[in-house]
Structure formats: C-alpha cells, structure tokens
C-alpha cells in the first residue's frame, strides 16, 4: 500500500474535506461544528433521506447530498461513527412535514448513535424512521448476532429512496421501499491490500502475492486470504459464487429467479485504476450472462460509490429489483428503476452516467470492424526466400524481442513512458501467431511485410509504432519497385540497402530524427549504411554499434527530453529502448538467415 499522503495528518482533514465538497454545489450548506452537509433547497413537504457514517468513504455520504438523493449527511472522524448530537443536528437541518428516514450501514457505532438520535428525534416531535442496511454475504449466517455487515449496497438503497422521496412518496411508502430493497441486495469485497490512514503508524498489509476476499471498508481482515492471487477471471468466478449460489446455506440470502431484473453496483475502494475497473466490470457482465442464467443487469453503477481511503480494493453488489417490487406493493419494478434513474446534482452522476430506460444489449453496443481484403502479392515484384529459412528468420527476431521486453520496459521507464518494450512484445507475439498459422509457407517476403504493416497499424500504438509503421510501408514499396536490383551486382543486400534508405528518406518527412538524437534511427541508419558497404554482416555490426552508442547520447527527441535525464560526461545511461529493440530484431533476423 502507499503510505504517502499530501496531508500528513488527519488533524482537521475531515472539516477541510467537507468545505471542499460543498464548493461544487452552491445549494449545499455546511454545519461545520457538527459536520452536517445539507441541501438548502430541500422541499419540506417531501420525506428527508439522511445518511452518514465515518469519514474516509467519500463521496459517501456528503457527496450525495442534493436533489433526488440525500437531504442531509453527517460525518464522523475517519472510520468512526458521528455522535448522537451531530445526527440530531442533521435531522434539524432539513425539517420535513412528511418525516425523515435515517439510512445507515450495519456497524455497531452507527446503529447505537443513529438509533439514539432516532429515539430523541421522535421524542421531540419529528416523524423519524431508521433503516439499517446489511448486504455483505462473506461472513455467513452462523456465529454472528449482528447480522450482515454494510457495504456499498447501501448506496443503491439511498439512490432508490432519494428518487422515491423526490417523487413525493409518503413516509410509509418510502420506508417500506427502503426495507424491501435493502433486503434484496448481496455484496462482497476483494482487497489487494489494506488502506493507509494519514498520520497513522500502525497498519495491516498483505504480501505481494496475497489478497483477501470478504473484506470490510475499515481495514478489517477479510473472510478468506488467497495466496497465490487468482486470475481476474477466477476471482470474479469465486465472488459471484458467494453472491449468487442459493444452495450455500451460509450465504443464500437472496433468491434470483430467471428473468428477475437486477441492478449491479461496482464500487472502487479508492485505489483501483479506472482501466482495471472497466475491465473488471466487463468480466462481471460476461460471467453473469454466461454462468448465471443469462443475468443482464438493467442498471449499472460503477465508480467511487463508497471508498476506503486509498485501498486497492472493490466491492460487487447485486440487487433484485423484481423481488423488491413483490415485497413492496406501493411501487412496481418500473417505478424502482425510475427512482434509480432520477437525475441528481450530486457526485452520484459520475458513477452512472447516462441511464437509458431502453438499454441496448451489450452485443449490439460492441461493433466488430469488418476485415478488409489484403492486397494481393504480385509474384513478379516479390522476393522469394526458402519457406523454412523465412520462418526461422522471423521466429528468431520475434523471440529475441519478446525476451528483451523486460530490459526495454525498464529502460523506457527510466527515460520515457515505459511502453516501448510492451509495444514491441505485442507486435512480436502477433507476428509469431501469424507464423504459426502458416504466414511463411509461400516464402513471400512481401506477404510478411504486409502482415507487419497490419500489426503496426492495428496493434502497436505509441511513437515507436508510428515510426515503424511509416518505415515499413515505405520499405515494402521500395522493395517491390526495385526488385530487379536483386539480380544485379551486389544482389539482395544491395536491394535491402536501397529499400531501407528509401524508407528512411520517407521517414524524414515526418520526424527530424537523425543519428545522435538517441532514437530508433540510431540503429536503422547505420544498419542501412553498413549493408551498402559490407553486406548483411556489416549492417549487423553497424546496427549493434549504433544501439550501443545511444548509451552516451543526450536525448533530443521524444519523452526522454522532458524527464531531466541526460548523459553526463562521467555517467552512462541505459541504451535507447527503441534503438536497442530494432538492433535485437535485426540480429535475430540475420541469425536466422
């Protein structure tokens, strides 16, 4: 876990955070002494939905105060319940003729303080109810008197209740809906590591090859430690088994009949990248459809629903909308979906984006680009090589690139953005796959170059992919236009030297790179010159020397020029990864030759 924080201490951090949160919405007010965020425009004729808990779970709950969601929220210290006085202040901040509903997660401190505030509020003449949400399935039914722990499924309850209250539902109607919906949610979390509290010295950690499932949002230990860590596919399979296997006597909390409409909530605990969360959501949807009766959620919310500071963790929640409607006569499944869709002026909107009442099947959203026919190879303009030799050359070059990837990535991480090795490995693996499918069987050099062009255009991005794409297109054209050179004095090396020089000349139209600038051309230009004067052996030696020379060059082009790392007179840098990768590929090709 990361122990580094911009604010080194939690002292004053919650108050400062609340002042920042209300700044985005001018309709919000802050009772700073009680840490209550409230909606100054709340309609007193409508039910007030109020929630809260310990801080560190932002945007829960202060980020959800606003139209069609919370009327008020109340925050405690980090991972600590707010006091009874604070909660009473939140009720007073949004007086309602219709009444108020306190919605909390099932933790002892919250239950006690919100419960006492509920009693006092009713004694003072308020119409107040309380709903305790427990949705975590991991701990099971045995050995615990407190019931299920609260996870991010509560945020789905808040969203539905906020929509119902905003639509003018009565206290009884909204309360009954909240109880029914909260009972139809199953949730579970998985953690790669614990979070770290600013200023705190003691904290739990997980090993590099360990993870927990069944964790809570307060650094609690999980239900089960997994080591080694499973693949994402296996992890999702396990989590869905815990959530949806109704034959499990410990965790069969909710029944999902075929055709029941469901809502999926995927909550980032704070430390997961958007990239991985998107991939995780895709995996969840694929497995729900394939392995759980074709379950396709009718609504999805994904993002920072309820966090745990900077924890690299997430939770999955599934709610049964159809079953909720069966247990709540006042509202239909369509009503519940409408409440979930109700637009707010809160941070909730960043989790759900545009909700459509007529969701298209995912298969219709994903469009596959039609394969374009490849340009036919003109045998008269081709260079034929013995198929076994051509295959060996390509395999040796690709295998060498794949083996070099860790070094290339490490060097590019020091001097650039770290993608060079992975870009070259991706291209090499794609070309190896094409060789496995028989690409070299005709002995056609042009066919291999066409495949390289397709890989560069479709699979390899980044600056290097663009440079090589221009280089190879021009080189293939030059080979085809000058194939007669292969029959002249100097033969095939002369043809390749001419083609490479022509492609380098074309490349100069798009980049000013030249020898000495510490780029891939520090290998390519010497290689072309070496072939012209000394054949393939001379070209290889020149390529190796060119790549080695980059260790002593100051970067003049590319991202390496931004990082403040240059060659000092007494310091040798790592080689330029693009130049080194080109040299590795050339060396592999000529070894195969």
- Separation CA 69–CA 162 (nearest Å): 4
Find out whether 54 is annotated in a ligand binding site.
yes
- Separation CA 96–CA 178 (nearest Å): 18
Q: Which residues of 74-111 are buried (b: 16+ CB within 10 A; e: fewer)?
A: bbbebbbbbbbebbbbbbbbbebebbbbbbbbbbebbb
Find out whether 469 is annotated in a ligand binding site.
no
| Cβ burial, residue 124 (10 Å; 0-12/13-18/19+) | exposed
Instruction: Please state the separation of Cα 177 from the chain's center in Å.
Output: 33
Residue 515 sits at φ, ψ, to 5 deg, of: -60, 130
- Outline where 72-144 has alpha helix (H): 84-93, 108-123
Q: Which residues pair with 313 in a beta bridge?
A: 191
Q: HSE of 360 in the Cβ direction (CA atoms, 13 Å)?
A: 7
Q: Which residues of 282-310 are buried (b: 16+ CB within 10 A; e: fewer)?
A: ebbbebbbeebeebebbbbbbbbbbbbbb
- Separation CA 553–CA 548 (nearest Å): 10
Residue 493 sits at φ, ψ, to 5 deg, of: -55, -40
Calculate the alpha carbon distances from 341 to 168, 287, 290, 336, 581 in Å: 15, 25, 27, 9, 51
Residues across the chain: 593
Residue 271 sits at φ, ψ, to 5 deg, of: -115, 10
Number of H helices, E strands in the chain: 18, 12
The DSSP string of 567-585 is --TT-PPPPPHHHHHHHHH
Find out whether 55 is annotated in a ligand binding site.
yes
Give residue for tokens 């840490």.
Answer: 35
Looking at residue 485, the DSSP 8-state letter turns out to be G
5 is catalytic: no
Find out whether 57 is annotated in a ligand binding site.
yes
Q: Which residues of 398-410 are buried (b: 16+ CB within 10 A; e: fewer)?
A: bebbbebbebbbe
Question: Of 444, 437, 450, 456, which Cα lies nearest the Cα of 393?
Answer: 444
Options 42, 194, 218, 498, the catalytic residue: 218
Beta strands, E only, 215-322: 224-226, 262-268, 299-303, 313-320
- List the catalytic residues: 218
Residues tagged in the binding site annotation: 54-57, 110
Residues tagged in the binding site annotation for substrate: 54-57, 110
């Amino acid at each position: 876990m990361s122990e580094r924080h911009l604010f080194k201490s939690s002292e004053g951090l919650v108050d400062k955070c609340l002042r920042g949160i209300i700044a985005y919405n001018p309709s919000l007010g802050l009772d700073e002494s009680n840490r209550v965020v409230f909606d100054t425009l709340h309609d007193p004729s409508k039910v007030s939905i109020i929630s809260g808990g310990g801080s560190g779970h932002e945007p829960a709950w202060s980020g959800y105060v606003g139209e069609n969601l919370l009327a008020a929220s109340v925050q405690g210290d980090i991972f600590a319940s707010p006091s009874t006085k604070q909660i009473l202040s939140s009720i007073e901040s949004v007086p309602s003729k219709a009444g108020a509903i306190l919605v909390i997660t099932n933790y002892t401190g919250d239950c006690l303080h919100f419960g006492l505030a509920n009693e006092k509020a009713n004694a003072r003449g308020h119409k107040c109810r309380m709903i305790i949400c427990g949705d975590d399935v991991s701990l099971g039914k045995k050995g615990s008197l407190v019931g299920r722990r609260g996870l991010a499924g509560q945020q789905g309850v808040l969203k539905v209740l906020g929509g119902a209250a905003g639509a003018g539902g009565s206290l009884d109607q909204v309360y009954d809906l909240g109880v029914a919906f909260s009972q139809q949610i199953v949730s579970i979390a998985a953690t790669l590591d614990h979070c770290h509290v600013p200023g705190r010295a003691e904290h739990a950690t997980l090993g590099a090859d360990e993870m927990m499932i069944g964790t809570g949002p307060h650094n609690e230990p999980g239900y089960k430690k997994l080591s080694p860590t499973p693949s994402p596919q296996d992890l999702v399979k396990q989590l869905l088994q815990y959530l949806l296997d109704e034959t499990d006597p410990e965790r069969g909390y909710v029944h999902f009949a075929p055709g029941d409409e469901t809502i999926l909530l995927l909550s980032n605990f704070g430390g997961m990248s958007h990239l991985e969360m998107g991939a995780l959501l895709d995996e969840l949807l694929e497995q729900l459809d394939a392995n759980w009766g074709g379950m396709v959620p009718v609504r999805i919310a994904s993002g920072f629903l309820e966090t745990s500071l900077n924890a690299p963790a997430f939770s999955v929640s599934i709610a049964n909308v159809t079953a909720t409607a069966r247990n709540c006569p006042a509202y239909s499944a369509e009503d519940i979906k409408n409440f979930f869709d109700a637009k707010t002026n809160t941070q909730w909107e960043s989790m759900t984006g545009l909700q459509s009442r007529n969701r298209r099947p995912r298969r219709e959203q994903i469009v596959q680009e039609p394969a374009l026919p490849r340009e036919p190879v003109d045998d008269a303009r081709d260079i034929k090589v013995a198929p076994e030799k051509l295959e060996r050359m390509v395999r040796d070059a690709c295998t060498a690139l794949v083996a070099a990837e860790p070094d290339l990535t490490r060097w590019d991480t020091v001097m650039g953005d770290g993608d060079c090795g992975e870009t070259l490995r991706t291209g090499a693996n794609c070309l190896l796959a094409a060789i496995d499918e028989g690409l070299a069987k005709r002995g056609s050099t042009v066919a291999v170059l066409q495949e390289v062009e397709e890989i560069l255009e479709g699979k390899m991005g980044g600056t290097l992919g663009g440079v090589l794409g221009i280089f190879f297109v021009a080189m293939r054209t030059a080979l085809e236009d000058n194939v007669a050179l292969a029959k002249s004095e100097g033969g095939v090396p002369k043809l390749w030297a001419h083609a490479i020089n022509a492609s380098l000349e074309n490349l100069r139209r798009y980049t000013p790179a030249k020898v000495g600038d510490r780029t891939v051309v520090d290998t390519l230009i010497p290689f072309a010159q070496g072939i012209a004067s000394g054949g393939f052996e001379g070209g290889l030696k020149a390529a190796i020397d060119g790549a080695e020379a980059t260790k002593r060059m100051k970067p003049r082009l590319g991202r390496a020029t931004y990082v403040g790392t240059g060659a000092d007179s007494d310091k040798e840098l790592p080689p330029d990864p693009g130049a080194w990768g080109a040299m590795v590929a050339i060396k592999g090709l000529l070894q195969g030759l």
